[in-house]
Amino acid sequence: MSVYDAAFVNTELSKSTSIFGLKLWVVIGILLGSFIVLTLFLLSLCLITRRKSRRHRHLGSTPPVSKEIQEIVHHHHHPPAAPDHQHKAPPVPEVQVDTGKLEHILAFSSGESKGHTSVSETTSFGSGNVGPEVSHLGWGRWYTLRELELATSGLCEENVIGEGGYGIVYHGVLTDGTNVAVKNLLNNKGQAEKEFKVEVEAIGRVRHKNLVRLLGYCVEGAYRMLVYEYVDNGNLEQWLHGDVGDVSPLTWDIRMNIILGTARGLAYLHEGLEPKVVHRDVKSSNILLDRQWNSKVSDFGLAKLLCSERSYVTTRVMGTFGYVAPEYACTGMLNEKSDVYSFGILIMEIISGRSPVDYSRPQGEVNLVEWLKTLIGNRKSEVVVDPKLLEMPATKALKRALLVALKCVDPDATKRPKMGHVIHMLEADDLLFRDERRAATEPSDSHSGNRQSNRNASKLG
């Protein structure tokens, strides 16, 4: 640009305009500044809108607790391909023994005929005050993360009372002095979210003296925590397989009380609720005990809610190796009879003090069911009793409990009894046991005592 051009531009920019008499260069500067301010305002508005959108999507990732549990299932009876197990231990082949023959041996050797061992099926949960309570507390209390951290001393390691694949359980004390068990679910590929919803849906509204009560929960950020009543005497696995000395504190009466209480809890889940609840992980470590040795079924993270008279086929078989029903493990077919099988294994475990599968034992004794069936077939029922029992149970009481266990683990799921039926058989066992003890303490009336026992046995028909 020449000197003359520059002078011309300066002259033009210095001219006054009709806008308030402002010079042209001033007007141009105002327009440029306004454009820059407007551009910055629009950019900031876009950023704020995008940030709000992200925050809304983040908060929306936590579904409402009351939503129906979503699970991929196949509503048909074709076996799915290769169900994956939670536990990868190799399967132990179960010995092929005629269960009916073993039941006959037990019934005959205890002075009863097989026809006297059946009871008409019923949904009753026994007599007296066994009936379930219904909670009127809704879904329980919503706890803040701060409350639970304070109760558990910051989720410290010293307060850990249990640990599993999906979470860690802490002992805590709330500000009002209430002892609680706080289960902090591990956020493992969405499993924590699923287990959280399952447990709340399964037991959030119910109360029963043989089910661990859910008090409330915490949903805060990535945390998913469940708050239960605190059961202060450990679990059944610890008392059966832990270091308790040469003599177990679990007497025969206590063991029968644990079996009966567990049966009542499961009967309520199966027959007292709609939809019914299939626990799917009945095992000794999930049976908690209080100071009076009352049992409480816990850990409903794998539970499934089923409509009445329906079975589900799932492609993912869940449970614990040694307790899983054979038809469920092979085909994924799930109904309440799967829990009945696991309960039968639990009875055998309680009577014998042995784990369902123990590879440290000699060949032929690795599988509890196989070993027990073999001994019963050889008429050696007394050998199966836990050697840590200080006093042997009455013969009829032992054989009645073994008979119930055999019925529960029948390979044919349709032949397994319902839990209400199991309770009646166990209560009849209790009557027989009391009569036998009374007969032992009254020698002069031994014949009348035997007649009374026979009459009680005949009531099972």
CA atoms within 13 A on the CB side of 212: 28
User: 104: domain CATH number?
Assistant: 1.10.510.10
State how many domains the chain has. Answer: 3
Do 222 and 260 share a domain, yes or no? Answer: no
Percent with pLDDT over 90 in the chain: 39
Residue 74 resides in a domain: no
d(CA 150, CA 440): 56
d(CA 281, CA 323): 8
Residue 59 resides in a domain: no
What number is the average pLDDT over the span 294-299? 93
pLDDT above 80 for 296: yes
Residue 18 resides in a domain: yes
Q: What is the DSSP letter of 226?
A: E
Residue 72 resides in a domain: no
pTM across the whole model: 0.65
pLDDT above 60 for 312: no
Q: Which of 290, 232, 295 lies closest to 260 in space, CA to CA? A: 295
pLDDT for position 27: 78
Residue 93 resides in a domain: yes
3-class state of residue 85 by DSSP:
strand
Do 289 and 437 share a domain, yes or no? Answer: yes
Do 204 and 293 share a domain, yes or no? Answer: no
Q: What is the pLDDT of residues 198-252, one digit of tens each?
A: 777 767 767 899 999 889 888 888 888 889 999 999 999 999 999 889 999 999 9
User: 190: domain CATH number?
Assistant: 3.30.200.20
Taking the alpha carbons at both ends of the chain, their separation in whole angstroms is: 119
Dihedral sign computed on CA atoms, order 118, 123, 125, 127: negative
pLDDT above 90 for 337: yes
* Domain interval for residue 450: 84-133+238-458
Do 322 and 368 share a domain, yes or no? Answer: yes
d(CA 110, CA 104): 10
DSSP-assigned states of every residue in 4-31: HHHHHHHHHHTSB-SSTT-BHHHHHHHH
Q: What is the pLDDT of residues 369-388, one digit of tens each?
A: 999 999 999 999 999 999 99
Do 322 and 425 share a domain, yes or no? Answer: yes
Among 123-137, 139-153, 371-385, 425-439, the range scoring the smallest mean pLDDT is 123-137
Do 244 and 365 share a domain, yes or no? Answer: yes
Catalytic residues: 281
Q: What is the pLDDT of residues 160-211, one digit of tens each?
A: 988 766 788 999 999 999 999 999 987 755 666 676 777 777 677 678 999 9
